A and B are shown apart, each in its own frame.
Chain A
Amino acid sequence: MSGGAASPVAVRYSAVGAPLAALAATALFVVGAVAPIYAASEFTLRIGNQGLLLGMLALSVAFLMNQAGLVALGAASVYGGAGYLFAIGINNWDLSATQALLAAFVILVVYAAALGALIIRTNPLAFMMLTLAAGEMISHSVMLEGLRDYTSGADGLVVAFKGSILGLQAADFANPVHFWPLAWTATWISGLTIRAVRRSRLGAVLRAVRQNEERMRFSGFDTYAPRLMGFVLINAVAAVAGLLHVLNAGFVSPDSLGLSLSTNALVSALIGGVASAAGPIVGGLIFAFAQDEFGAYGVTQLLTGVAIVVFIVLFSKGVVGGLTSAARHLRRPSDPKGGAR
């Protein structure tokens, strides 16, 4: 699971390759932020933006799945919830755009901490069921008759903010050309953060708890707080993605909260592979473009189901995971660990 540190050979490779890799990553970041603006059409960029945001959501699902063995099926509720809270902050609470962003983020982190405190203690299957239930609860809350003044029920909310956020106006966020570098940067920041957490002590403890929770408790580790921190972290990432989405779309509807978006994020994570930070983001982009390709036939949902089954049963490493191990295999064909799992 832990990438390159499998053998002394790999360590030597990464010792030589580390500065090179950092250089390559920096180059990829700069080129990726600028090139598409000139090379791609506005329409392609629009889908690319959706793909990046879906990728961030997938990243959060994948992190908890890979590190803690927990599958969160309610990712979209925080993603869409962020949009709703931002809209309500502007429309009903008379906050400025920046204040509304912060308020939405803080409320969601508190919500995630409270929900996590309640459900993280249960076993992984129950966790999966409970996140699904919590997501549905949020979906139902938005449709409540009593909250209609705030959420407009099934119609969704138009969000028009005045002023600027980080020097960008509402029109800039809505423009796919201006939005792309922002989404690209946010994706990189979340990816690198997740990668850093993976390699930190928290990541190590989470993986150990996933292997054997009881033994970790006997060894004197707190197994509760790390999992709670992991849960809050992924929800923070999901909230950021959701806030970017509402800024970009200028609109939030029950669709952005629902179970189908949560499963889309799960599928993106599975397509790209959950074991790396790049995988889910690549998966999100693949999903967004595939959805654009097949969406017209109304078979997106069907393909989502097929993709879950196919990628779990046949390609459990995902695209990025599969390519990584294939590359490793080519470099060191004698290493038995390079090939199949």
Chain B
Amino acid sequence: MLWSRRSLHALAGVYALDALDEGAEQRRFIRHLRRCKACADEVRGFRNVAAALAFATAAEPPPALRNRVMAAVGHTRQLPPLTAPRRWRAWTLWSPPNVWLPRLAMVTAVAAIAAVVVLSIALSDARQQLASARAHSQAIAAVLAEPGILTVTGPVTTGGTTTVVLSADKRELVISTSGLAALPAGKAYQLWLIGPSSTQQTAVRSAGLLPPAVGGFTYPVTASGLVAGDKLGLTVEPAGGTNQPTTTPILLLNLPVKA
């Protein structure tokens, strides 16, 4: 029994590399994983090594692939989240259940490699983006943690699109864009929350500037203080931003927030 368990344990590496033949042995190992914390731990670490091996052999796919994937995304329905406490079940195929280990992801090789890739793909300009994403990441995570978040997308009249993820409960939103026209020096895109004109106090409020785009995309930014009837507006303003819009909005997006 001891021997058998030890030999099962030794399969952690094989399993993590998807090298276990399908069949009885695989099923036994997966069952074993659910009881063996040390094995689960080990498999997780080995998956990280495997991901590092994938990064090490990274190859740029043909550009056409991106277009096909993005087109397919447009008409592919996403799975809704699983409801707790069965969440781990979906993971058993690639990773063992982890109910005993509430700790967050450790600093892994993958993180390091991913960061290197992130940083080496994006140029110095992007470091700023990362910094900005970093600064906002907690706020964004907070919005995303809300129940009942919605996603709204709208076209920008001068080209490109804007995506808004909003939490109606917390009255907060996360905004990202793609394909916006490049601006001349000294100009920036500014976001606005535009309320129903009758309520003077909440008529038009700045929701901040968009960060410079990286490869056509802007990293997500957050805005708060959403009220019922607000629309999201976008204008081109002087680089530092203004108190009130000085140009015609190139985006007016209805935000579905009830009073």
Do the two chains bind? no
